[in-house]
A and B are shown apart, each in its own frame.
Chain A
Amino acid sequence: MQNRIANPVRPAFDKTERADDVIVNIGPSHPATHGTIQIIAALDGERVKRVDVHCGYLHRGFEKECESHTWANLIPYVDRLNYCSALINNFAYCEAVETLMGIEITPRCRYLRTLLSEYSRVADHLTCVAAALMELGAMTAFLYLVMIRDYIYEHLADLTGARVTYSYGRIGGLAHDLPEGWLKRLDEILGQYEVFVARIHGLVDRNRIFIDRMRDVGVISTADALDFGFTGPILRSTGVPRDLRRDTPYLAYAELDFDVPVGIKGDNYDRYYVRMREMDESVHMIRQLMDMLPEGPINVDDRRCTLPDKQLVYSEIESLINHFKLIMDGPQVPAGEVYRAHESANGELGFYIVSTGEGTPYKVHARAPSFVHMGGVHLMLEGYQLADMVPTFGSVNMIGGECDR
């Protein structure tokens, strides 16, 4: 006879107000919970009275790993936080370390990082919208969006070598420069993106079923959103045009012309539409950046963080030692602390790093938007139907790697 399997969580409630109410466990292995979230819901028929959201099923000890690897070795770990738009995590982390070291990246690197951040944002929103639509039953829309996302993945694989988790950012720059013909292919993909997204709009935007399922479902007010720390598309869907790229510009965003789309009511339909419009804005930004890209080196010429040229490593002793020290001990980051945040696809992704002057961090903390959103998602679930949980959760875009770190 099998021994009883341990229960890893303790629910917040195990009795309901009325004797007729039922407590249902949804997840953590569930198609609609996007990975691993457990929602314990008290239901009155189909109406959700109270929820208790449990995350942490993907807690992989990112912050503890950070304390035993060099600054440069952490880049693959950082990738796997928000794995849908891994490049944004890379660049946010690298920028935090570069600030502590007092390094300013080269202009070409700055524009390229901006371009790739926007490209990653498009991939992330495509994934979110595709999954949300699939869960509502729109299988065709899922296939269209995943097709475009696949083009983006293959294209980024041409650049970085990997499809999903790129590890392309480096402290002081990027791993390597763009290959031949990359920008031309980018242009083609952006053209195809427009074709595919027009189809999605046609299929879904004025579809009676879609509107019935998404309009006025999962509503959150601006006051509640700010109180519970929501940022990103969810905050913007309530009508507040807060975007770090516009409010506190970083990288090359100050030089770009773009709008910040906002919603009206803060419901699921608004979140879907804000994401679709943000993708269009990102494509617009990418087109501007393609023309603005200056020539020049990718990596800053600073021996503290940039690996020397391979030819020099094999011929000069100084470069050899430099290379060796950088790989074995890591770049020596001066003591201090810094908090740097980027506008990731879900909101404010911040890195708080504490250094004691060595090649390995003393502490790295990732301020993950998804985790904070999980604290407020109960507002969007309570009072609605059980079946509404599916599109609402899909529109929140909870990414497990980021939420649980």
Chain B
Amino acid sequence: MRSTTIPIRPADRPAPSSAFEYIATKKDELVGWARKFSLFPYPFVTACCAMEFMAVSATPYDTDRFGAALPRFSPRQSDLLMVVGTVTHKQAPILLKVYEQMCEPKWVMAFGVCATSGGFYQNYAALAGIDKIIPVDIYVPGCPPRPEMVIDGIMRLQEKIAASHHPILTKDF
């Protein structure tokens, strides 16, 4: 997650006590735990990877086990942008618009090798990887990736969320 925080001038702030730091860490762990198990994906589906996205959302490779089953088709209500399939230059403005409409905290999964790097479409039409226009948190390669690979990607993303800093009250806490 890219954040543009305002730098804090150390002289303005007193050094935090160890009790405060303990509480802040526990808060991060709690919020991280809650967020990682309640991911609301926005399936930005374009191409063939959609077949595997459907397979991974349905039985037997259920993403509901990870809390990531309920898709929200509005960017305002979702927090995980799954870019599934090739993004072409024509589609790129739409992807950027959807990404910008999502509220923090948000994560991006590049599902499939076309979203990761353009796949084998290295030509005038396809965007060679979505990280050229939006920041990506987890790349799941494969053409299309097997559902197990997608689940592995979701689990790694969950580890990343669990380990990151979650400011909820102010930018510092």
**Chain A complexes with chain B:** yes
A-side residues, CB < 8 A to B, are: 2, 5-8, 28-31, 35-36, 56-61, 64-65, 76-77, 80, 83-84, 127, 130-131, 142-143, 146-147, 149-150, 153, 163-165, 400-401
Q: Complex: how many Å from CA A29 to CA B55?
A: 20
B46:A150 contact, CB within 8 angstroms: no
B91:A401 contact, CB within 8 angstroms: no
Partner of B144, one of A56, A58, A142, A165: A165
Among residues 78 to 136 in chain B, which have CB atoms less than 8 Å away from a CB atom of chain A? 85-86, 88, 90-91, 93-98, 100, 120-121, 123-126
Q: Complex: how many Å from CA A7 to CA B91?
A: 10
A35:B44 contact, CB within 8 angstroms: no
B59:A153 contact, CB within 8 angstroms: no
B125:A401 contact, CB within 8 angstroms: no
A29:B120 contact, CB within 8 angstroms: no
A2:B48 contact, CB within 8 angstroms: no
B96:A36 contact, CB within 8 angstroms: no
A83:B51 contact, CB within 8 angstroms: yes
Minimum distance in angstroms from A135 CB to a CB of chain B: 11
Contacts A59-B88, A143-B58 known; 8 new A-B pairs at CB < 8 A: A2-B100, A31-B73, A58-B91, A150-B55, A150-B58, A150-B60, A164-B52, A165-B48
Among residues 54 to 89 in chain B, which have CB atoms less than 8 Å away from a CB atom of chain A? 54-55, 58-60, 71, 73, 85-86, 88
Q: Complex: how many Å from CA A127 to CA B146?
A: 17
B51:A84 contact, CB within 8 angstroms: yes
Is residue B45 within 8 Å, beta carbon to beta carbon, of the partner chain?
A: yes
A163:B52 contact, CB within 8 angstroms: yes
Closest to A8 in B: B90
Q: Complex: how many Å from CA A221 to CA B5?
A: 60
Given A57-B88, A165-B143, answer yes or no on A127-B54 (Cβ-Cβ < 8 Å).
yes
Interface string of B129-173 (1 = CB under 8 A from A): 000000000000001101000000000000000000000000000
**A–B complex contacts, Cβ < 8 Å, 6 sampled:** A31-B43, A35-B50, A56-B90, A143-B59, A147-B58, A150-B58
